[in-house]
C-alpha cells in the first residue's frame, strides 16, 4: 500500500513537472506571423542556446531590451538574441548587406525574441571610446561610414516603405568579421509610405544625436536621421563622443559645435582623432568632417539626402567647396523667408538643399 502511494505521488510530481516545463516553453502564434513563419524558432532552443538567458552572456542592454550571446544547440552557429516587444514586423522582410541580418524570431507570452547573426567585432563605440588597445584605422572608418550610409539610403528610398530609424548612434552600428558597418536595433523605427510624412509627435532617440527640429516639433523624418548620421560621421572621424564635459569648466560641449569651431579658425583638420596619426588622406578627412557638419546642419532643409551623401562618399559627385559662412547664410536665409516658427519643417525635394550645396561652388 505504501509502495502504491509513493508510486502515485512520484507520478503526480513527474506529471506536474512536465506540465510546468511545457508551460515554460509555451509559445503563441498570431495572425501576422503567417507571413514570417519560416523564420520562427523554438523558444526552447533559444533558452538552451543562451543557457537560460544568463547575465554572463549579455552582449549589451538598454532601455529597449537586452542582447544575449548564444550557440544554437544543433548547428552550433553563434547567434545574438534580443528580448524585445515587437520590431520583427518592421525588419522581417528587409534585406541589405549593411543591416544586421535577422535570422529568426520566437514569440512567447508578452514578449518577442529576435535572433540575429552574431557580429564578432561588437559595436562601433567599443573601438571609438571603450577600448584604447583596439582602434580602427582610417580606411576601416571610411568603410564603416559608407556602409551605414548605404543602409540608410536603403531605408529612406529603396525599400517598399520609408523607414525612419530614429536611433542612429555608434552603439547601434555593429561590425562583422571584416569590419563592415551594419546598422541594427530597430526598436524605435517607424514606417511611412513614400511621399507621406511620419505621423508622430513623440521625441525619441539618444541625446547628442537628436536633431534640433526633432526636439522642437517632435516629428521624425529622413532629415532627422541624416542629422544623427552627421553626428556619427564626426564621432568616427574625431574619436569623441557627441556630448563631452569640458575639462576644468564642467560645461557640456556638443561635438558639432566643437568641430565647427575648428573650421571657423581655419584648422578643421585639428579636429580629427589623434589616434589616426598621419596615415590618412588629408583631403578625404577634411571632406568627411565638412560632410558631417553639413548633415548635422541646424536647418533640416540644408541637409543633403542620403543619396547625395553616398555620391560624395563614393566619389560619384564632387563635394562643394563650402565655407563656414555658407553654412551660416543658409540658416539666416531660412529665418528671413520662413520665420523662426517654421524652422524644423522638413519637405522632400526642397530647393534649400541645392542652394546650400551650390553656394560654395
pTM: 0.73
Which helix (H) or strand (E) covers residue 6, if one does? Answer: helix 2-24
Same domain, 64 and 162: no
**CATH number for the domain that contains residue 73:** 3.30.200.20
Under 8 Å between Cβ of 39 and 32: no
Stretch 289-293: mean pLDDT: 96
Same domain, 143 and 286: yes
Same domain, 186 and 329: yes
Average pLDDT, the chain: 79
Asked if residue 176 is part of any domain, the answer here is yes
**pLDDT computed for residue 37 by the predictor:** 52
d(CA 11, CA 14): 5
- DSSP assignment of 169-232 equals -GGGEEE-TT--EEE---TT-EEE-TTS--------S-TTT--HHHHHH----HHHHHHHHHHH
Under 8 Å between Cβ of 148 and 232: yes
* Overall domain count for the chain: 2
Tell me which of 117, 139, 165 is where a domain ends.
117
**CATH number for the domain that contains residue 282:** 1.10.510.10
Q: Which residue range(s) make up the domain with 81?
A: 24-117
| pLDDT tops 60 at residue 344 | no
Asked if residue 243 is part of any domain, the answer here is yes
Q: What is the pLDDT of residues 249-264, one digit of tens each?
A: 778 899 999 999 999 9
| pLDDT tops 70 at residue 91 | no
Q: Which of 45, 110, 125, 167 is catalytic?
A: 167
| pLDDT tops 80 at residue 107 | no
Asked if residue 16 is part of any domain, the answer here is no
Tell me which of 117, 133, 151 is where a domain ends.
117
Contacts 24+ apart (CB under 8 A), 149-153: 149/229, 149/306, 149/309, 149/310, 149/313, 150/96, 150/97, 150/98, 150/310, 151/96, 151/98, 151/99, 151/181, 151/182, 151/183, 152/183, 152/225, 152/226, 152/229, 152/306, 153/306, 153/307, 153/309, 153/310
82 is in an annotated binding site: yes
Same domain, 277 and 140: yes
281 is catalytic: no
How many other CB atoms are found less than 10 A from the CB of residue 81? 28
Same domain, 107 and 135: no
Same domain, 279 and 342: yes
Asked if residue 222 is part of any domain, the answer here is yes
Asked if residue 15 is part of any domain, the answer here is no
Tell me which of 60, 85, 117 is where a domain ends.
117
Amino acid at each position: 500500500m505504501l509502495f502504491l502511494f509513493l508510486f502515485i505521488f512520484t507520478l503526480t510530481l513527474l506529471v506536474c513537472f512536465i506540465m510546468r516545463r511545457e508551460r515554460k516553453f509555451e509559445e503563441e502564434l498570431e495572425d501576422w506571423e503567417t507571413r514570417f513563419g519560416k523564420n520562427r524558432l523554438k523558444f526552447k532552443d533559444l533558452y538552451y542556446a543562451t543557457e537560460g538567458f544568463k547575465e554572463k552572456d549579455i552582449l549589451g542592454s538598454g532601455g529597449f531590451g537586452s542582447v544575449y550571446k548564444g550557440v544554437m544547440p544543433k548547428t552550433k552557429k553563434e547567434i545574438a538574441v534580443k528580448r524585445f516587444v515587437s520590431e520583427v514586423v518592421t525588419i522581417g522582410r528587409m534585406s541589405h548587406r549593411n543591416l544586421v541580418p535577422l535570422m529568426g524570431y520566437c514569440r512567447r507570452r508578452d514578449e518577442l525574441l529576435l535572433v540575429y547573426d552574431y557580429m564578432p567585432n561588437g559595436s562601433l563605440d567599443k573601438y571609438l571610446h571603450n577600448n584604447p588597445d583596439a582602434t580602427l584605422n582610417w580606411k576601416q572608418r571610411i568603410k564603416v561610414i559608407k556602409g551605414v550610409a548605404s543602409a540608410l539610403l536603403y531605408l529612406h528610398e529603396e525599400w517598399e516603405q520609408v523607414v525612419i530609424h530614429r536611433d542612429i548612434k555608434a552603439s547601434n552600428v555593429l561590425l562583422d568579421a571584416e569590419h563592415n558597418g551594419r546598422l541594427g536595433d530597430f526598436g524605435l523605427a517607424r514606417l511611412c509610405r513614400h511621399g507621406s510624412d511620419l505621423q508622430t509627435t513623440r521625441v525619441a532617440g539618444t541625446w547628442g544625436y537628436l536633431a534640433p527640429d526633432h526636439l522642437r516639433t517632435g516629428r521624425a523624418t529622413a532629415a532627422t536621421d541624416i542629422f544623427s548620421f552627421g553626428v556619427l560621421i564626426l564621432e568616427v572621424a574625431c574619436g569623441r563622443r557627441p556630448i563631452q564635459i569640458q575639462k576644468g569648466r564642467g560645461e557640456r560641449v556638443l561635438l558639432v559645435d566643437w568641430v565647427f569651431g575648428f573650421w571657423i579658425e581655419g584648422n578643421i583638420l585639428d579636429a580629427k582623432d589623434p589616434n589616426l596619426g598621419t596615415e590618412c588622406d588629408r583631403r578625404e578627412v577634411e571632406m568627411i568632417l565638412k560632410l558631417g557638419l553639413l548633415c548635422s546642419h541646424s536647418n533640416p532643409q540644408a541637409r543633403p539626402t542620403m543619396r547625395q551623401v553616398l555620391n560624395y562618399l563614393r566619389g560619384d559627385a564632387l563635394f562643394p567647396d563650402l565655407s563656414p559662412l555658407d553654412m551660416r547664410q543658409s540658416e539666416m536665409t531660412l529665418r528671413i523667408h520662413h520665420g523662426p516658427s517654421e524652422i524644423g519643417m522638413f519637405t522632400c525635394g526642397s530647393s534649400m538643399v541645392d542652394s546650400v550645396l551650390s553656394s560654395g561652388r
